[in-house]
Amino acid sequence: MSESGSGARELTAGEQRNVATAYEQMAAAMAGWRDAEEGRKRLEAIQSEDLDWFTPSANPRRELHQGREEYIKLVTEFQFDYYIPGSKVEIFATTAQGNRVATEMISDIVLKDGTPYTNRYQQLFIFTPAGKVQVYKLYMDTAIFIRDDNRATAKIGDDFLYALSSGGNLGIRHLLTDEATWQFNNLGCRPVTMDKEAALKRIDKLQERLTGYGFSPVVGSAIVNGPYVTVRAKLAASDLRDRKAVASEHHFVIKTEKPQESSHAGRILGGKIVAVREYIRGGSLPEV
Amino acid sequence: MDTKEFDLCLTDSERRNVSAAFEMIDAIRSSWTEPQAGRPRLETLLAEDFVSFTPTSDSARQQRLDKQEFIDLIRNQRSQLKSDSSLQIAAHTAHGNRVATEVNSEMKYLDGSSVRNRYHQLFLFDSTGKIAQYRTYMDSAAIVESAATQGEALVRSFVVALGDASPELKKLTSEHFEFRPADGSAAIGVDSLLEKIAAVRKKAGKFGLYPIEGGLVVGEGMASVEAQAPTGFVHSFVVSFDNDQVTNAIEFSSGILEVHP
């Protein structure tokens, strides 16, 4: 159970019980991913009613204190709905003293959309004299959530360029929210802001007028932060009216609607676009 | 329960390990103020095959430091940190050769920035009581956010200095800085750029660049900037930076020099 080494004292009965309860909490959580009712029952049996559960952070937005009901709901609702069978967490070492048990743990989880989510934790359980979990501190590599959020947001940028280059506009229509706006800044001009329908009409007209209207992303150009993804892409087309080549580099600043809060549960891919701001260099697009 | 009472149950070697964990944190702190004193203390505490790492599943951030690398890292922090930076063990849990410590820190940097963090460290001891492993589980998002904040400050200063044609731009840009204008013409250096923006300012009367709401998207070493001029034009740039200097800027519409030729 523990790589406690030589010189280790024998754990008291209470300490052994606490270690067993820490293992049971994680087993009960996994049970909740398969069978919500069983998970709830087992967690209620070992967690104090006034459980304080949080990820320690100096940032109050990340150190959200939640209670037993929130923990049970996370396990039996969100994770039950979104994790595939075989997803697991595994405690690989423990350190117990008095009413405290520290556990090192690995998660290996796959969301139902196929996204892997793994993390490394050193949790801290603090127990009541009766042996119930009163405080559950989930120390973990929180930057994983930023990486996964960024990946999910970057995917929206990829989907956007792919749809914009598809020769139709249904893909873009699907990606934009109904209230989405599109601002276009042609070279040397003031910005023009369009609503969704006007933006789609512009794309229709550009597709009619330009042969090869499509964008090749500039490799490594994506910048992601919070709900924003920006990407550079090259357009190489020709104008059907005068057969002149149209070549330009575009910079798209895309605002997504995806909430970007860190979670304990991995990031679901997908999401819509609420605003696009398009800039251009090295050329200009015909006014349509 | 105070620490002494809490530790009454521990064996002698377990108590020695707890003391060593506290001593290590103290030695790290003293390395920031008295490097001559900190280094020998760390040398004594750490096993020859010592390894330090922050457990992560992100291969891009995996980093293992051996004894000398770790001591050098701590020593080098001295040149960046103010002496009133803090690192404090709040609570510990010990059994056998393992000591887990909850730690709070506030790193105050000489540039005025600061980062607070929460850690749950794990010390693994060898049979002689030396620290063999130091695993730092922490709120690693705080580190990523701090880097982004520093990048954002640099890029914001760059854009403002650009709009003002301020000589400060020279300090903010690297030796081989390049500006690639929106019209696709050849890249120019900082001196030529300053001259051209100064000419624009002279002609336009009032000119400046002010990032629009949501107009700074800062990633690792790269940022997207959208800034509005008093004329109503929005100017966009993709800026690359390295450490504390901007290395190049690619301009998109509306080009400053197109709008104010």
Q: Are A200 and A172 in contact (CB under 8 A)?
A: yes
Selected residue with higher pLDDT from A190 and A86: A86
Q: Chain B: nearest CA to A108, how far in angstroms? A: 10
3-class state of residue B119 by DSSP: strand
Cis omega (within 30 of 0) on the bond before B254?
yes
**DSSP label at B60?**
G
Count chain A–chain B contacts defined by CB atoms under 8 A.
242
DSSP, residue by residue, A106-174: EEEEEBTTS-EEEEEEEEEEEE-TTS-EEEEEEEEBTHHHHHHHHHHHHHHHHHHHHHHTSSSSHHHHH
Provide mean pLDDT across the span B106-119: 92
Please tell me which residue, A243 or A275, carries the higher pLDDT value: A275
Among A7, A121, A142, beta carbon nearest to B13: A7
Report yes or no: A41 and A24 within 8 Å, Cβ to Cβ: no
- Mutate one of A6, A122, A252 to test the B interface: name it (highest B CB count within 10 A): A122
Residue A81: predicted pLDDT: 87
Per-residue pLDDT at B112:
87
Q: If you average pLDDT over residues A158-174, what whole number do you get?
A: 94
Give the nearest partner residue to B57 out of A56, A98, A119, using CB atoms: A119
Q: Is the pLDDT of residue A7 over 90?
A: no
Chain B touched by A252 (CB under 8 Å): no
Residue B68 is predicted with a pLDDT of: 97
Output the pLDDT for position A2: 44
Given a contact cutoff of 8 angstroms between Cβ atoms, the answer to whether B24 and B88 are in contact is no
3-class DSSP state of B28: helix
Sort out which chain A residues have CB atoms less than 8 A from B61's CB and list them.
143
pLDDT band at B175 (very low <50, low <70, confident <90, very high): very high
Q: What is the pLDDT of residue A5?
A: 66
pLDDT at A6: 67
State the complex-level ipTM.
0.87
- For Cα atoms A103, A104, A108, give the angle at the middle one, nearest 5 degrees: 125
Percent of chain B with pLDDT over 90: 73
Q: Over range A209-219, report the average pLDDT.
A: 93
In the block, residue with structure tokens 């990946």? A151
State how far residue B218 is from chain A, nearest Cα, in angstroms. Answer: 6
Give the distance from residue A32's alpha carbon to the nearest chain B alpha carbon, in angstroms. 24
Position A287 scores a pLDDT of 74
Spell out the alpha helix ranges (H) of B61-172: 67-77, 141-164, 168-172
Ranked by mean pLDDT, the top range of A84-98, B224-238, B247-261 is A84-98
Chain A segment 77-136 residues within 8 A of B by beta carbon are 93-98, 100-102, 104, 106, 118-122, 124
Contact: B9, A12; criterion CB under 8 Å = yes
How much is the average pLDDT of A175-197? 92
Instruction: Give chain A positions within 8 Å (CB) of B122.
Output: 95, 102, 104, 122
Alpha-carbon gap: B117 to the closest alpha carbon of chain A (Å): 5
pLDDT of A262 reads 45
- Chain A residues in contact with B139 by the CB 8 A cut-off are 55-59, 62, 139, 142
Q: Name the more confident of A185 and B116.
A: B116
User: What pTM did the predictor assign?
Assistant: 0.87
Neighbour tally for B121: CB within 10 Å: 24
Q: What is the pLDDT of residue A196?
A: 98
Q: Give the minimum alpha-carbon distance from A37 to chain B in angstroms, rounded to a whole number.
A: 31
pLDDT for B145 beyond 70: yes
Count of Cβ atoms closer than 10 Å to residue B220 Cβ = 15
Question: What length is written for chain B?
Answer: 261
What's the CA gap between B215 and B211, in Å, rounded?
A: 6
| A167 interfaces chain B, CB cutoff of 8 Å | no
Task: With a cut of 70, say whether residue B216 has pLDDT above it.
Answer: yes
- In DSSP terms, B237 is beta-bridged to B225, B251
CB A283 within 8 A of CB A246: yes
Question: Residue B21: which pLDDT band, with cuts at 50, 70 and 90?
Answer: very high
For residue B122, the model assigns a pLDDT of 98
What percent of chain B has a predicted confidence (pLDDT) above 70? Answer: 98
Buried b / exposed e along B183-207 (16+ C-beta atoms within 10 A): beeeebebeebbebbeebbeeeeeb
CB atoms within 10 A of CB B64: 11
Contact call for B232 and A9, based on CB within 8 A: no
Assigned token pair, B166 = 């301020």
Between the alpha carbon of residue B203 and those of residues B197, B206, B230, B259, the distances in Å are: 10, 8, 13, 11
**Is B120's CB within 8 Å of A122's CB?**
yes
| CA–CA separation, A222 and B224 (whole Å) | 9
Q: Please give the average per-residue pLDDT across B164-171, as a whole number.
A: 96
pLDDT beyond 70 at A266: no
Measured in angstroms, the CA of B183 and the nearest CA of chain A are apart by 5
Of A5, A225, A281, the CB nearest to B148: A225
Chain A residue numbers touching B148 (CB-CB < 8 A): 225
* Of B180, B165, B151, B152, the residue nearest B229 (C-alpha): B165
Q: How far is B61 from chain A (nearest CA, A)?
A: 10
Any B CB within 8 A of A219 CB: no
CB proximity A253 to B under 8 Å:
yes
pLDDT per residue as tens digits for the range B186-206: 999 999 999 999 998 888 878
A259–chain B Cβ distance below 8 A for any pair: no
- The pLDDT value given to residue A286: 78
pLDDT value at residue A267: 65
Average confidence (pLDDT) over B249-261: 81
- Residues A276 and A278: their CA atoms lie apart, in Å, by 6
Do B46 and B21 touch, CB atoms closer than 8 A? no
From the list B98, B135, B182, which residue is nearest A3 (CB)?
B98
Tell whether the model's pLDDT for residue B98 goes beyond 50: yes
Task: Scan residues 15-54 of A and list those with Cβ closer than 8 Å to B.
Answer: none
Share of chain A above pLDDT 70, in %: 93
Residue A283: pLDDT over 60: yes
- A68 vs A263, more confident: A68
Number of alpha helices (DSSP H) and beta strands (DSSP E) in chain B: 8, 11
Mean pLDDT over the full length of chain B: 93
Question: Is 90 exceeded by the pLDDT of residue B3?
Answer: no
CB contact under 8 A, A97 and B135: no
What average pLDDT does range A262-275 have in this prediction?
Answer: 72
Q: What is the DSSP letter of A282?
A: S
Cα A275 off chain centre by: 20
Element (H, E) at B37: helix B35-45
Report the residue from A9, A282, A283 with minimal CB separation from B9. A9
pLDDT tens digits for B121-138?
999 999 999 999 999 999
Query: Can you tell me the distance from the alpha carbon of B107 to that of B88, in angstroms, rounded to the nearest whole number?
Result: 11
